Amino acid sequence: MADSQIDKGYCEGIETDHHKFRVVKNHLVQFLVYLALFSALVPLFSILYEVVVRGFSTISIEFFIKPTPTVGEVGGGVANAIQGTLITIGLASFIGVPIGLMSGIFLSEYGESKLSVAVRFFYDVLSGIPSIVIGVFAYALITRSIGFSVIAAAFALAVMMIPIVARTTEEALKLVPMSIREAAIALGIPRWKTTVTVVLSGAKKAIVTGLLLSIARIAGESAPVLVSMGFWRWWFAGLDRPVANLALNVFIFAMSPFENWIALAWGSALVLILLVLGISVAARVLTRGRY
């Protein structure tokens, strides 16, 4: 039966209705597939366009050197938020990067074991936990005892950072050819020294890329910052006090009824998106041809 169909449809070039139907269906699906791709990319371009256009009209020199304006004040800027975001990211990296790096080294350099499979699985689990829950965790663990503080926010962001750093470090180290490790070991260099000097420096670029990506990720996080640190309009005032935060500013300003603050929300969003997308593009260029 199958043979006769093939004969009719293709071998003798006779166009059956069924064949036509299949061809039409094929074209229809192809159209739908590209339509899906188009509709997935429209929001990206719309977001980029709106943020750049609306954000750009807010940005001035004042925007970068003045702190959050009080209600009713004209102008003002996000200088304190930039300072606060840098402090928070720095603290979070201070906690998160060593743990992530060492975990990545363990996962890549010491082969498959029950422990490494479990560790990898739980890192996946951790990266699937919503950021707000991690914020509540930091709130329950730190904020409730020492109050709303930059330490609590940095802790929450560090928890989000660790799985990303561990994963990217692992992948970066696995890209270093085994022959390089063997060569170092054949020279009589201990394994750990091989890892620290030869393997890590070979994967330097990719590891730095991973770090940058994790920083980009936590720089845009606002949910954990909101519940563990809260909104702060002033400059840095100590590690046990809150600091201002760019991403949180976007939320607070956007939900406010003041026109000046809403304009600042777009400006902050532009700074954030330039930071985040800049890092993503830089990461792409740094590791070109590797992935």
Partner 1 sequence: MKISQKISPFIRNLNIKSILQLKKHFKGDDIFKLVSALFASSIFLLLGLMVYELVKGSWLSIQTFGLNFIVGTKWDPAVSKVFGTLPLILGTLVTSAIALLIGVPISLGVGLALSEYMPKKFGLAVSFLVELLAAVPSVIYGLWGIFVLIPFLRNHVYSCLQAVFGFIPLFSGPIYGGGVLTGGIVLAIMIIPTVSAVMRDLFLAVPNSQREAMIALGATKWETAKTVISYARSGVIGAAILGLGRAVGETMAITMVIGNKFQVWPSSLFDAWYTMAAIIANELLEATYDLYISALINVGLVLLFVTLIINVLARLIVWRTLRLTRGIARE
51 torsion bin: left (phi>0), alpha (psi -120 to 50), beta (else): alpha
- Residue 43 is a binding residue for partner 1 (CB under 8 A): yes
Output the smallest distance, CB 271 to partner 1, in A.
Answer: 11
Site for partner 1 in 110-139 (CB under 8 A): 110-111, 115-116, 118-119, 121-126, 128-137, 139
Site for partner 1 in 69-108 (CB under 8 A): 98-99, 102-103, 105-107
Size of the site for partner 1 (CB under 8 A): 98
- Residue 171 is a binding residue for partner 1 (CB under 8 A): no
Among 63, 232, 261, 266, contact with partner 1 (rule: CB under 8 A): 266
- Residue 13 is a binding residue for partner 1 (CB under 8 A): no
Region near partner 1 per CB under 8 A, out of 41-49, 56-64, 77-85, 203-211: 41-49
| Separation between Cα atoms, residue 231 and residue 254, nearest integer Å | 13
| Separation between Cα atoms, residue 139 and residue 149, nearest integer Å | 10
- Residue 10 is a binding residue for partner 1 (CB under 8 A): yes
Output the smallest distance, CB 224 to partner 1, in A.
Answer: 9
Among 47, 146, 175, 183, contact with partner 1 (rule: CB under 8 A): 47
- Residue 263 is a binding residue for partner 1 (CB under 8 A): no
Among 6, 65, 175, 286, contact with partner 1 (rule: CB under 8 A): 6
| Separation between Cα atoms, residue 172 and residue 184, nearest integer Å | 18
| Separation between Cα atoms, residue 201 and residue 189, nearest integer Å | 15
241 torsion bin: left (phi>0), alpha (psi -120 to 50), beta (else): beta
Site for partner 1 in 223-262 (CB under 8 A): 223, 226-227, 230, 247-248, 250-251, 254-255, 262
Among 159, 164, 173, 211, contact with partner 1 (rule: CB under 8 A): 159
Locate all alpha helices (DSSP H) within the chain, ordered by sequence: 2-6, 17-58, 61-65, 79-109, 114-128, 131-138, 144-146, 150-174, 178-186, 191-193, 200-202, 204-219, 223-228, 246-255, 259-286
Nearest C-alpha neighbor of 109 from the set 165, 169, 162: 169
Among 36, 146, 175, 286, contact with partner 1 (rule: CB under 8 A): 36
Nearest C-alpha neighbor of 222 from the set 144, 145, 160: 160
